[in-house]
Amino acid sequence: MNKIAVVGAGISGLSMANYLEKHSIDYHIYERRKKKDLAGHGFLIPQEGMNYLYEIIEPDLLFQHGRFLKKYIQYSHTGKILGEKKLGNVFAISRNSLINLLAQNISPEKITYEETVTPNDRQKGRLMLSNGTEIDAAIAIISDGSRSRIRRSLFKDETMKMVRESEVVNIIHDKEIADAIENDFIKFHHEEGGLTFGILKLSDNTVLWYSQFDNEKYMINECSVGNLKKYMLEIFKDWHPVVPSIIQKSDYKNVHLWCVYELEKLNSFYQDNIVFIGDAAHPLIPFTSQGVTSALKDSFILTKYLVEEDNIEQTFSRYETERKPEIEIHINNGRTLLDQFLLPLSQQTENMLPISYK
Ligand SMILES: Cc1cc2nc3c(=O)[nH]c(=O)nc-3n(C[C@H](O)[C@H](O)[C@H](O)COP(=O)(O)OP(=O)(O)OC[C@H]3O[C@@H](n4cnc5c(N)ncnc54)[C@H](O)[C@@H]3O)c2cc1C
Protein backbone atom coordinates (compact mmCIF):
# COMPACT_ATOMS: atom_id res chain seq x y z
CA MET A 1 0.00 0.00 0.00
CA ASN A 2 1.21 3.55 -0.71
CA LYS A 3 2.34 5.81 2.03
CA ILE A 4 -0.02 7.25 4.62
CA ALA A 5 0.43 10.69 6.21
CA VAL A 6 -1.00 11.13 9.72
CA VAL A 7 -1.52 14.72 10.92
CA GLY A 8 -1.41 15.11 14.70
CA ALA A 9 0.15 12.96 17.41
CA GLY A 10 -2.53 13.07 20.10
CA ILE A 11 -4.31 9.92 21.23
CA SER A 12 -5.95 9.32 17.86
CA GLY A 13 -2.87 9.95 15.66
CA LEU A 14 -0.58 7.87 17.86
CA SER A 15 -3.02 5.00 18.26
CA MET A 16 -3.53 5.01 14.47
CA ALA A 17 0.24 4.74 14.02
CA ASN A 18 0.34 1.81 16.48
CA TYR A 19 -2.35 -0.10 14.60
CA LEU A 20 -0.67 0.64 11.23
CA GLU A 21 2.62 -0.54 12.70
CA LYS A 22 0.95 -3.81 13.77
CA HIS A 23 -0.09 -4.42 10.17
CA SER A 24 3.25 -3.28 8.71
CA ILE A 25 1.59 -0.43 6.82
CA ASP A 26 3.95 2.45 6.05
CA TYR A 27 3.12 5.91 7.44
CA HIS A 28 4.59 9.18 8.64
CA ILE A 29 3.21 11.42 11.40
CA TYR A 30 3.46 15.22 11.43
CA GLU A 31 2.94 16.89 14.79
CA ARG A 32 2.80 20.61 15.58
CA ARG A 33 4.02 20.48 19.19
CA LYS A 34 7.49 19.84 20.53
CA LYS A 35 8.11 16.22 21.51
CA LYS A 36 8.29 16.99 25.22
CA ASP A 37 5.50 19.53 25.22
CA LEU A 38 2.57 17.58 26.61
CA ALA A 39 -0.39 19.68 27.64
CA GLY A 40 -3.47 18.15 29.24
CA HIS A 41 -4.01 16.16 32.36
CA GLY A 42 -5.88 12.91 32.49
CA PHE A 43 -8.52 10.62 31.12
CA LEU A 44 -11.17 8.24 32.31
CA ILE A 45 -11.23 5.24 30.01
CA PRO A 46 -14.13 2.77 30.19
CA GLN A 47 -13.55 -0.97 29.72
CA GLU A 48 -14.29 -0.84 26.00
CA GLY A 49 -11.46 1.65 25.45
CA MET A 50 -9.13 -0.50 27.53
CA ASN A 51 -9.79 -3.47 25.25
CA TYR A 52 -8.60 -1.40 22.26
CA LEU A 53 -5.54 -0.26 24.22
CA TYR A 54 -4.59 -3.83 25.14
CA GLU A 55 -4.18 -4.50 21.38
CA ILE A 56 -1.25 -2.06 21.24
CA ILE A 57 0.08 -1.65 24.81
CA GLU A 58 0.96 -4.46 27.21
CA PRO A 59 -1.72 -4.48 29.93
CA ASP A 60 0.89 -4.73 32.71
CA LEU A 61 2.64 -1.65 31.39
CA LEU A 62 -0.65 0.24 31.34
CA PHE A 63 -1.45 -0.80 34.91
CA GLN A 64 1.90 0.61 36.07
CA HIS A 65 0.88 4.05 34.81
CA GLY A 66 -2.71 4.41 35.96
CA ARG A 67 -5.35 2.74 38.05
CA PHE A 68 -8.85 1.35 37.96
CA LEU A 69 -11.41 3.34 39.88
CA LYS A 70 -13.75 1.44 42.15
CA LYS A 71 -16.75 3.65 42.86
CA TYR A 72 -18.25 6.90 41.73
CA ILE A 73 -19.46 8.86 44.75
CA GLN A 74 -21.65 11.89 44.27
CA TYR A 75 -21.70 14.53 47.01
CA SER A 76 -23.54 17.78 47.52
CA HIS A 77 -21.21 20.76 47.68
CA THR A 78 -21.16 20.65 51.47
CA GLY A 79 -20.27 16.94 51.55
CA LYS A 80 -23.57 15.09 51.93
CA ILE A 81 -23.46 11.76 50.07
CA LEU A 82 -26.11 11.81 47.34
CA GLY A 83 -25.40 8.43 45.83
CA GLU A 84 -22.76 6.00 44.74
CA LYS A 85 -22.29 3.55 41.91
CA LYS A 86 -19.75 0.84 41.16
CA LEU A 87 -17.53 1.77 38.23
CA GLY A 88 -17.11 -1.26 35.98
CA ASN A 89 -13.38 -1.15 35.22
CA VAL A 90 -13.02 2.54 34.45
CA PHE A 91 -9.30 3.32 34.21
CA ALA A 92 -7.71 6.66 35.10
CA ILE A 93 -4.42 7.68 33.50
CA SER A 94 -2.59 10.94 32.91
CA ARG A 95 -2.48 12.23 29.36
CA ASN A 96 1.34 12.40 29.52
CA SER A 97 1.62 8.74 30.46
CA LEU A 98 -0.78 7.57 27.77
CA ILE A 99 0.86 9.69 25.06
CA ASN A 100 4.31 8.41 26.09
CA LEU A 101 3.16 4.80 26.09
CA LEU A 102 1.63 5.18 22.63
CA ALA A 103 4.70 7.01 21.30
CA GLN A 104 7.20 4.40 22.49
CA ASN A 105 6.36 2.04 19.61
CA ILE A 106 6.91 4.69 16.93
CA SER A 107 10.44 4.88 15.54
CA PRO A 108 11.87 8.43 15.44
CA GLU A 109 12.16 8.50 11.65
CA LYS A 110 8.39 7.99 11.37
CA ILE A 111 7.42 11.12 13.25
CA THR A 112 8.29 14.77 12.69
CA TYR A 113 7.62 17.10 15.61
CA GLU A 114 7.25 20.88 15.34
CA GLU A 115 5.68 20.55 11.89
CA THR A 116 2.37 22.28 11.36
CA VAL A 117 0.42 20.96 8.40
CA THR A 118 -1.85 23.43 6.62
CA PRO A 119 -4.45 23.07 3.90
CA ASN A 120 -3.35 24.43 0.54
CA ASP A 121 -5.80 27.29 0.01
CA ARG A 122 -5.20 27.27 -3.73
CA GLN A 123 -5.83 23.56 -4.19
CA LYS A 124 -8.66 22.02 -2.23
CA GLY A 125 -7.77 18.75 -0.54
CA ARG A 126 -3.99 19.27 -0.74
CA LEU A 127 -1.89 19.57 2.42
CA MET A 128 1.30 21.57 2.86
CA LEU A 129 4.29 21.37 5.15
CA SER A 130 5.69 24.52 6.74
CA ASN A 131 8.44 24.82 4.09
CA GLY A 132 5.79 25.10 1.39
CA THR A 133 6.14 21.57 -0.04
CA GLU A 134 3.07 19.47 -0.58
CA ILE A 135 2.61 16.27 1.43
CA ASP A 136 3.05 13.39 -0.92
CA ALA A 137 0.89 10.54 0.36
CA ALA A 138 -1.84 8.35 -1.06
CA ILE A 139 -3.95 8.83 2.07
CA ALA A 140 -3.98 11.61 4.67
CA ILE A 141 -5.38 10.65 8.08
CA ILE A 142 -6.27 13.81 9.96
CA SER A 143 -6.17 13.71 13.75
CA ASP A 144 -5.50 17.36 14.54
CA GLY A 145 -8.12 17.75 17.27
CA SER A 146 -11.57 19.22 17.77
CA ARG A 147 -10.86 22.57 16.12
CA SER A 148 -9.23 20.95 13.08
CA ARG A 149 -8.15 23.58 10.59
CA ILE A 150 -8.03 21.01 7.81
CA ARG A 151 -11.64 19.96 8.49
CA ARG A 152 -12.80 23.58 8.45
CA SER A 153 -11.05 24.15 5.13
CA LEU A 154 -12.89 21.21 3.55
CA PHE A 155 -16.30 21.76 5.15
CA LYS A 156 -16.63 25.50 5.00
CA ASP A 157 -20.29 25.59 6.00
CA GLU A 158 -19.84 23.71 9.29
CA THR A 159 -20.99 25.47 12.47
CA MET A 160 -18.91 25.09 15.61
CA LYS A 161 -20.25 26.52 18.79
CA MET A 162 -18.96 26.96 22.28
CA VAL A 163 -20.62 24.69 24.82
CA ARG A 164 -22.21 26.17 27.95
CA GLU A 165 -19.60 24.48 30.11
CA SER A 166 -15.93 25.21 30.75
CA GLU A 167 -13.47 23.14 32.73
CA VAL A 168 -10.52 23.90 34.90
CA VAL A 169 -8.25 20.85 35.10
CA ASN A 170 -5.18 20.42 37.26
CA ILE A 171 -3.00 17.85 38.98
CA ILE A 172 -1.82 17.96 42.57
CA HIS A 173 1.02 15.87 44.00
CA ASP A 174 -0.08 15.20 47.56
CA LYS A 175 0.10 11.77 49.22
CA GLU A 176 -2.25 12.68 52.05
CA ILE A 177 -5.06 13.67 49.67
CA ALA A 178 -4.33 10.67 47.42
CA ASP A 179 -4.57 8.28 50.38
CA ALA A 180 -7.80 9.87 51.56
CA ILE A 181 -9.69 9.32 48.32
CA GLU A 182 -8.53 5.70 47.84
CA ASN A 183 -9.50 4.53 44.35
CA ASP A 184 -12.82 6.28 44.22
CA PHE A 185 -13.97 8.93 41.81
CA ILE A 186 -15.47 11.67 43.92
CA LYS A 187 -17.54 14.54 42.63
CA PHE A 188 -19.11 17.43 44.54
CA HIS A 189 -22.13 19.21 43.04
CA HIS A 190 -23.62 22.59 43.81
CA GLU A 191 -27.27 22.22 44.80
CA GLU A 192 -28.29 24.88 42.28
CA GLY A 193 -26.52 23.09 39.41
CA GLY A 194 -23.92 24.35 36.96
CA LEU A 195 -20.89 23.84 39.21
CA THR A 196 -18.99 20.68 40.17
CA PHE A 197 -15.63 19.66 41.55
CA GLY A 198 -14.30 16.17 40.72
CA ILE A 199 -11.29 14.36 42.21
CA LEU A 200 -9.63 11.10 41.21
CA LYS A 201 -6.35 9.40 41.90
CA LEU A 202 -3.81 8.82 39.11
CA SER A 203 -1.01 7.34 41.26
CA ASP A 204 -0.03 6.90 44.91
CA ASN A 205 0.71 10.58 45.26
CA THR A 206 -0.98 12.19 42.25
CA VAL A 207 -4.54 13.41 42.17
CA LEU A 208 -6.34 14.85 39.17
CA TRP A 209 -8.96 17.45 39.94
CA TYR A 210 -11.31 19.25 37.63
CA SER A 211 -14.06 21.71 38.00
CA GLN A 212 -16.98 22.22 35.63
CA PHE A 213 -18.59 25.64 35.32
CA ASP A 214 -21.78 26.84 33.70
CA ASN A 215 -19.97 29.60 31.79
CA GLU A 216 -23.13 31.73 31.51
CA LYS A 217 -23.48 31.81 35.28
CA TYR A 218 -19.79 32.00 36.23
CA MET A 219 -17.26 34.32 34.60
CA ILE A 220 -14.65 31.58 34.38
CA ASN A 221 -13.71 32.24 30.75
CA GLU A 222 -12.59 35.74 31.69
CA CYS A 223 -10.07 34.44 34.23
CA SER A 224 -6.36 34.48 33.46
CA VAL A 225 -4.09 31.82 34.99
CA GLY A 226 -2.93 34.60 37.35
CA ASN A 227 -6.32 35.18 38.94
CA LEU A 228 -7.83 31.70 38.54
CA LYS A 229 -6.83 30.48 41.99
CA LYS A 230 -8.26 33.58 43.68
CA TYR A 231 -11.51 33.28 41.71
CA MET A 232 -11.88 29.59 42.51
CA LEU A 233 -11.15 30.08 46.20
CA GLU A 234 -13.91 32.67 46.27
CA ILE A 235 -16.44 30.47 44.42
CA PHE A 236 -15.66 27.31 46.43
CA LYS A 237 -15.11 28.86 49.86
CA ASP A 238 -18.25 27.33 51.44
CA TRP A 239 -17.76 23.85 49.95
CA HIS A 240 -16.61 20.74 51.79
CA PRO A 241 -13.13 21.67 53.16
CA VAL A 242 -11.29 19.20 50.91
CA VAL A 243 -12.27 21.32 47.87
CA PRO A 244 -10.82 24.71 48.95
CA SER A 245 -7.83 22.87 50.43
CA ILE A 246 -7.01 21.25 47.05
CA ILE A 247 -7.53 24.55 45.22
CA GLN A 248 -5.25 26.28 47.73
CA LYS A 249 -2.48 23.66 47.71
CA SER A 250 -2.30 23.22 43.91
CA ASP A 251 0.43 24.68 41.78
CA TYR A 252 -1.15 26.64 38.91
CA LYS A 253 1.82 26.44 36.51
CA ASN A 254 0.19 23.72 34.43
CA VAL A 255 -3.45 24.44 35.15
CA HIS A 256 -5.69 24.26 32.12
CA LEU A 257 -8.84 26.22 31.42
CA TRP A 258 -10.80 24.38 28.77
CA CYS A 259 -13.41 26.05 26.60
CA VAL A 260 -15.42 23.22 25.06
CA TYR A 261 -16.69 23.31 21.47
CA GLU A 262 -19.09 21.13 19.53
CA LEU A 263 -20.18 20.82 15.93
CA GLU A 264 -23.82 21.67 15.36
CA LYS A 265 -23.93 18.83 12.84
CA LEU A 266 -21.28 16.24 12.04
CA ASN A 267 -19.58 16.47 8.64
CA SER A 268 -18.70 13.50 6.53
CA PHE A 269 -15.68 11.73 8.05
CA TYR A 270 -13.81 11.86 4.73
CA GLN A 271 -13.37 13.57 1.42
CA ASP A 272 -11.35 12.21 -1.51
CA ASN A 273 -8.10 10.83 -0.02
CA ILE A 274 -8.50 12.63 3.34
CA VAL A 275 -10.09 10.92 6.32
CA PHE A 276 -10.72 12.27 9.83
CA ILE A 277 -10.38 10.41 13.13
CA GLY A 278 -10.81 11.28 16.82
CA ASP A 279 -11.82 14.79 17.85
CA ALA A 280 -11.07 16.08 14.35
CA ALA A 281 -13.93 13.93 13.02
CA HIS A 282 -16.27 14.39 15.97
CA PRO A 283 -15.58 16.65 18.95
CA LEU A 284 -17.22 15.06 22.03
CA ILE A 285 -17.97 17.08 25.12
CA PRO A 286 -16.04 16.00 28.23
CA PHE A 287 -19.19 14.78 30.06
CA THR A 288 -19.16 11.68 27.89
CA SER A 289 -15.66 10.49 28.96
CA GLN A 290 -15.64 8.81 25.54
CA GLY A 291 -13.06 10.93 23.67
CA VAL A 292 -10.17 8.51 24.10
CA THR A 293 -12.23 5.36 23.59
CA SER A 294 -13.76 6.81 20.41
CA ALA A 295 -10.33 7.85 19.12
CA LEU A 296 -8.98 4.35 19.71
CA LYS A 297 -11.98 2.74 18.09
CA ASP A 298 -11.77 5.04 15.04
CA SER A 299 -8.12 4.08 14.55
CA PHE A 300 -8.77 0.38 15.03
CA ILE A 301 -11.69 0.24 12.60
CA LEU A 302 -10.08 2.45 9.97
CA THR A 303 -7.00 0.20 10.06
CA LYS A 304 -9.18 -2.89 9.73
CA TYR A 305 -10.76 -1.55 6.53
CA LEU A 306 -7.42 -0.30 5.17
CA VAL A 307 -6.23 -3.89 5.48
CA GLU A 308 -9.39 -5.47 4.01
CA GLU A 309 -10.14 -3.06 1.14
CA ASP A 310 -8.14 -1.98 -1.91
CA ASN A 311 -10.41 0.87 -2.83
CA ILE A 312 -9.96 4.08 -0.79
CA GLU A 313 -13.56 5.30 -1.21
CA GLN A 314 -14.89 1.91 -0.03
CA THR A 315 -12.49 1.89 2.92
CA PHE A 316 -13.52 5.33 4.12
CA SER A 317 -17.20 4.74 3.48
CA ARG A 318 -17.22 1.51 5.54
CA TYR A 319 -15.33 3.28 8.34
CA GLU A 320 -17.84 6.15 8.43
CA THR A 321 -20.85 3.83 8.22
CA GLU A 322 -19.60 1.87 11.21
CA ARG A 323 -18.50 4.78 13.37
CA LYS A 324 -20.98 7.62 12.81
CA PRO A 325 -24.13 6.12 14.39
CA GLU A 326 -22.26 5.34 17.61
CA ILE A 327 -20.70 8.80 17.75
CA GLU A 328 -24.17 10.32 17.32
CA ILE A 329 -25.33 8.37 20.39
CA HIS A 330 -22.44 9.82 22.43
CA ILE A 331 -23.16 13.33 21.15
CA ASN A 332 -26.79 13.01 22.24
CA ASN A 333 -25.81 11.50 25.60
CA GLY A 334 -23.33 14.35 26.08
CA ARG A 335 -26.09 16.91 25.46
CA THR A 336 -28.33 15.13 28.01
CA LEU A 337 -25.50 15.09 30.58
CA LEU A 338 -24.91 18.79 29.93
CA ASP A 339 -28.60 19.62 30.40
CA GLN A 340 -28.62 17.69 33.68
CA PHE A 341 -25.49 19.48 34.88
CA LEU A 342 -27.13 22.86 34.33
CA LEU A 343 -30.22 21.92 36.40
CA PRO A 344 -30.52 22.20 40.20
CA LEU A 345 -29.73 18.85 41.82
CA SER A 346 -33.36 18.39 42.88
CA GLN A 347 -34.42 18.38 39.22
CA GLN A 348 -31.73 16.06 37.88
CA THR A 349 -33.31 12.81 36.83
CA GLU A 350 -30.98 10.96 34.50
CA ASN A 351 -28.27 8.40 35.18
CA MET A 352 -25.79 10.03 37.54
CA LEU A 353 -22.61 8.48 36.05
CA PRO A 354 -20.47 11.06 34.26
CA ILE A 355 -19.90 8.68 31.34
CA SER A 356 -21.85 8.09 28.15
CA TYR A 357 -22.56 4.46 27.35
CA LYS A 358 -23.99 3.21 24.05
C1 LIG B 1 -11.63 19.08 29.76
C2 LIG B 1 -11.59 17.79 29.00
C3 LIG B 1 -11.64 16.59 29.69
C4 LIG B 1 -11.63 15.38 29.00
N5 LIG B 1 -11.72 14.22 29.70
C6 LIG B 1 -11.74 13.04 29.03
C7 LIG B 1 -11.84 11.79 29.72
O8 LIG B 1 -11.92 11.74 30.96
N9 LIG B 1 -11.87 10.65 28.99
C10 LIG B 1 -11.79 10.66 27.63
O11 LIG B 1 -11.83 9.60 27.00
N12 LIG B 1 -11.68 11.83 26.95
C13 LIG B 1 -11.65 13.01 27.61
N14 LIG B 1 -11.56 14.17 26.93
C15 LIG B 1 -11.49 14.12 25.45
C16 LIG B 1 -10.10 13.73 24.99
O17 LIG B 1 -9.14 14.62 25.50
C18 LIG B 1 -10.05 13.78 23.48
O19 LIG B 1 -11.18 13.17 22.94
C20 LIG B 1 -8.84 13.04 22.97
O21 LIG B 1 -7.68 13.56 23.55
C22 LIG B 1 -8.81 13.19 21.46
O23 LIG B 1 -7.57 13.07 20.98
P24 LIG B 1 -7.21 13.53 19.51
O25 LIG B 1 -5.90 12.87 19.24
O26 LIG B 1 -8.32 13.29 18.55
O27 LIG B 1 -7.03 15.12 19.57
P28 LIG B 1 -5.99 15.98 20.37
O29 LIG B 1 -5.64 15.37 21.67
O30 LIG B 1 -6.53 17.37 20.37
O31 LIG B 1 -4.66 15.93 19.48
C32 LIG B 1 -4.48 16.67 18.31
C33 LIG B 1 -2.99 16.75 18.00
O34 LIG B 1 -2.82 17.35 16.74
C35 LIG B 1 -1.80 18.33 16.81
N36 LIG B 1 -2.09 19.30 15.76
C37 LIG B 1 -3.12 20.19 15.71
N38 LIG B 1 -3.10 20.86 14.57
C39 LIG B 1 -2.03 20.40 13.87
C40 LIG B 1 -1.51 20.71 12.59
N41 LIG B 1 -2.08 21.62 11.79
N42 LIG B 1 -0.41 20.05 12.15
C43 LIG B 1 0.18 19.10 12.94
N44 LIG B 1 -0.29 18.76 14.17
C45 LIG B 1 -1.39 19.40 14.61
C46 LIG B 1 -1.91 18.88 18.22
O47 LIG B 1 -0.69 19.50 18.64
C48 LIG B 1 -2.24 17.63 19.01
O49 LIG B 1 -1.09 16.96 19.45
C50 LIG B 1 -11.57 15.38 27.58
C51 LIG B 1 -11.50 16.59 26.88
C52 LIG B 1 -11.53 17.78 27.57
C53 LIG B 1 -11.50 19.07 26.79
CATH of the domain at 307: 3.50.50.60
Q: How much is the average pLDDT of 134-163?
A: 95
Q: Would you state the pLDDT for residue 97?
A: 93
In a domain, 145, yes or no: yes
Q: Give pLDDT tens digits for 31-57.
A: 999 988 766 688 999 999 999 999 999
In a domain, 13, yes or no: yes
Q: Give pLDDT tens digits for 86-125.
A: 888 899 999 999 999 999 999 999 999 999 999 987 887 7
DSSP 243-260: HHHHHHHS--TT-EEEEE
Could you say which DSSP state residue 235 is in? H
Residue nearest to atom 3 of ligand 1 (CA): 286
Residue 120 exposed, middle or buried by CB count within 10 Å (0-12, 13-18, 19+): middle
In a domain, 345, yes or no: no
Number of domains forming the structure of the chain = 1
pLDDT of residue 229 exceeding 80, the answer is yes
- Range 225-231 contact pairs with CB under 8 angstroms and sequence separation of 24 or more: 225/252, 225/255, 225/257, 228/168, 228/252, 228/255, 228/257
Q: How much is the average pLDDT of 202-206?
A: 89
8 Å CB contact between 77 and 240:
yes
Q: Is 261 in the pocket of ligand 1 (CB under 6 A)?
A: no
Task: State in Å: Cα 289 to ligand 1 middle.
Answer: 12
8 Å CB contact between 200 and 92:
yes
The whole-angstrom distance between residue 120's C-alpha and the CA centroid of its chain comes to 28
Q: Would you state the pLDDT for residue 220?
A: 93
Task: State in Å: Cα 288 to ligand 1 middle.
Answer: 14
Where residue 188 falls among pLDDT bands split at 50, 70, 90? Answer: very high
In a domain, 211, yes or no: no
Q: Sort strands 4-7 and 139-142 into parallel, antiparallel or unpaired.
A: parallel
Q: Would you state the pLDDT for residue 355?
A: 67
Q: Is 291 in the pocket of ligand 1 (CB under 6 A)?
A: yes
C-alpha angle 91-337-69 in degrees, rounded to nearest 5: 15
In a domain, 35, yes or no: yes
Q: How much is the average pLDDT of 14-23?
A: 97
Domain of residue 141 covers 4-40+95-159+266-339
Q: Would you state the pLDDT for residue 125?
A: 77
Range from 18-32, 123-137, 261-275 carrying the lowest mean pLDDT: 123-137
Identify which of 32, 87, 118, 294 to mutate to test ligand 1's pocket (most ligand atoms within 8 A of the CB). 32
Q: Would you state the pLDDT for residue 288?
A: 87
pTM: 0.94
Q: Is 290 in the pocket of ligand 1 (CB under 6 A)?
A: yes
Where residue 197 falls among pLDDT bands split at 50, 70, 90? Answer: very high
Q: Is 31 in the pocket of ligand 1 (CB under 6 A)?
A: yes
Task: State in Å: Cα 281 to ligand 1 middle.
Answer: 11
Range from 1-10, 211-220, 348-357 carrying the lowest mean pLDDT: 348-357
Please state the atom number of ligand 1 nearest to the C-alpha of residue 144.
34
In a domain, 276, yes or no: yes
In a domain, 117, yes or no: yes
Could you say which DSSP state residue 241 is in? T
From residue 75, alpha-carbon distances to 112, 186, 206, 214 in Å are 46, 8, 21, 18
Please state the atom number of ligand 1 nearest to the C-alpha of residue 291.
19
Angle at which helix 242-249 crosses helix 225-235, to 10 degrees, equals 160
In a domain, 233, yes or no: no
pLDDT of residue 9 exceeding 60, the answer is yes
Identify which of 30, 43, 260, 297 to mutate to test ligand 1's pocket (most ligand atoms within 8 A of the CB). 43
